[in-house]
Amino acid sequence: MLTLIIELILLETKTADIISKSKDFSSSISTWGDEIYFKTPINGIKLEENARDTIDFNEIAYWVEGNSIAIGFGITPASINDEISLVSKVNIWAEFDKKIYNIDFFRSINDGNIIKLIN
């Protein structure tokens, strides 16, 4: 089974602060169009004022309603035109270097692959 490692650049947000202080965890990945997401054991994160449902390629989101981290990299079932739309508003809390992690990298990820969040 594939285990993913993605180096993140944390943003200065409440969500990033909570996630960065959490214990390490592993989770099974699910896909939804060109989005991967995975459940977290992290509680207490609330929707932030600047939450949105459209993200840019290289942004890492926290989906409050699903208690999950989401990474969009292309068209999802919620997309209109070429935008990366998620199912509902999310908190943007981190970014990744899109020169290192390109769209092909994310398209190689399958349901059931394991991702590990290490702080």
pLDDT of residue 116: 84
pLDDT of residue 1: 63
Distances (CA, A) of 68 to 37, 59, 80: 6, 14, 23
Would you mind telling me the total number of residues written for the chain in this entry?
Answer: 119
Distances (CA, A) of 19 to 13, 14, 61, 63, 84: 10, 9, 11, 12, 23
* C-alpha to C-alpha distance for 41 and 39, rounded to whole angstroms: 7
- Per-residue pLDDT of the chain (119 residues), as tens digits, is 667 788 899 999 999 999 999 988 999 999 999 999 999 999 999 999 999 999 999 999 999 999 999 999 999 999 999 999 999 999 999 999 999 999 999 999 999 999 888 76
Domains (ranges, CATH) in the chain? Answer: 3-117 (2.40.100.20)
Token reading at 19: 């996630």
pLDDT of residue 94: 97
